[in-house]
Amino acid sequence: MTSVRVELGSRSYDILIGSGLLRQSSSFSAVARPRATALIVSNTTVAPLYAQVLEQSLQGQFARVLHCVLPDGEQYKDWQTLNRVFDALLEQHCDRRSVLFALGGGVVGDMAGFAAACYMRGVAFVQVPTTLLAQVDSSVGGKTGINHPAGKNMIGAFHQPRLVVADIDTLRTLPARELSAGLAEVIKHGAVADEEFFVWLEHNMEALRALEPEAVAHAVRRCCEIKAAVVARDETESGARALLNFGHTFGHAVEAAMGYGAWLHGEAVGAGMVVAAELSVERGLLGREVLRRLRDLVQRAGLPTRVPELPAARYLELMRVDKKAEAGELRYVLMDALGSAQLLPAGDAAAASALLMHGATPGSA
């Protein structure tokens, strides 16, 4: 086991990374509350695999261990499904000492975290990510929330977990498509924050797709180190943290345009990174060789490199809801070198041009 510390003063916490952590009660001793209730929030896919394992690890550390099982899929990341968590908390008379455990991928983590942020104006929660995407990205940093038909993750709160337990053994039950989706976020960290890590990924992509333990552990740890350092400097995404949204402005638009769940988040981000890199080239910030290397790595990860063919005007409409927009002006995370990026305004015409090169149809743009 290794650990990465997220330094946030009194709200600091550890990310535990290793094999077999879910089965070890000691993994959760830092959040034990023998007189309180633990609520495991999971979904219909993950709960049958790991909910009982987690319950056994929590027994004796909490007075009660309860379960709340949600439907699986991005399309359920909404108010109606969120209310199931509140219903469970209220029906079981959970108080402010209760702790929520988010057992699953990014959707479960975001929703359980948002429920924890809201219930009784804030209770503790623990991230127990079981997908690669959640282990390397969404479980770290306290972003919680739900989707709105007009925009992804537009309703939520910053609410830091008390602990993150990333058991890489859980990735063995992950479908290949979900594994590839997680690799998009892995690539992102190298592309905008660590050239050496990007080169390592170029040499180890096949090992990651084969779930070789040493390669997976290294990738999860390095991504968590990068994100922990960024979150410590910019918790609420007012500056440097926005750079970790590379590819997400385009990717979120793809998800909203196609209907949540049609494209996995990582698939949309993979194609979105290629569009963002093309826009970086058009702005004169990036050489075409770096664009080629990024596109090749995204493709080797089993991810799409082109966005769906929809009118560019539709994409631009959806991107104007992006959280990085200021005074109605779109801003994009653009690469200026391998391992480096900037948050810059980019005119609609340039964005439309990049989209057109990667799948969108002209429309009225």
| Positions marked active-site | 121, 143, 185, 227, 237, 241, 245, 248, 252, 265
Distance of CA 6 to the CA centre of its chain: 16
Beta bridge partners of 67: 40
For residue 95, how far is the Cα from the chain centroid? Answer: 29
What's the CA gap between 277 and 102, in Å, rounded? 33
**H-run or E-run covering 69:** strand 62-70
Alpha-helical (H) ranges within 194-264 are 195-209, 213-233, 248-258
∠93-146-95 over CA atoms, to 5°? Answer: 15
* Coil, strand or helix at 71: coil
- Rounded Cα–Cα distance for residues 132 and 343 (Å): 26
CA gyration radius for the chain?
A: 20
Question: Residues 72, 74, 80, 81: what is their CA dihedral angle, to the nearest 10 degrees?
Answer: 30
* Angle at CA of residue 244, ends 161 and 228, nearest 5°: 40
What are the backbone angles phi and psi of residue 169, rounded to the nearest 5°? -65, -30
| Cα dist from 148 to 61, 141, 161, 177, whole Å | 37, 21, 23, 25
Angle, helix 248-258 to helix 312-319, in steps of 10 degrees: 110
If we measure between CA atoms, which residue out of 105, 144, 152 comes closest to residue 254?
Answer: 152
In the block, residue with structure tokens 């960290």: 189
Q: Which two tokens stand for residue 68?
A: 């709340």
Place of tokens 């995370």: 333
CA 225 to chain centroid: 15
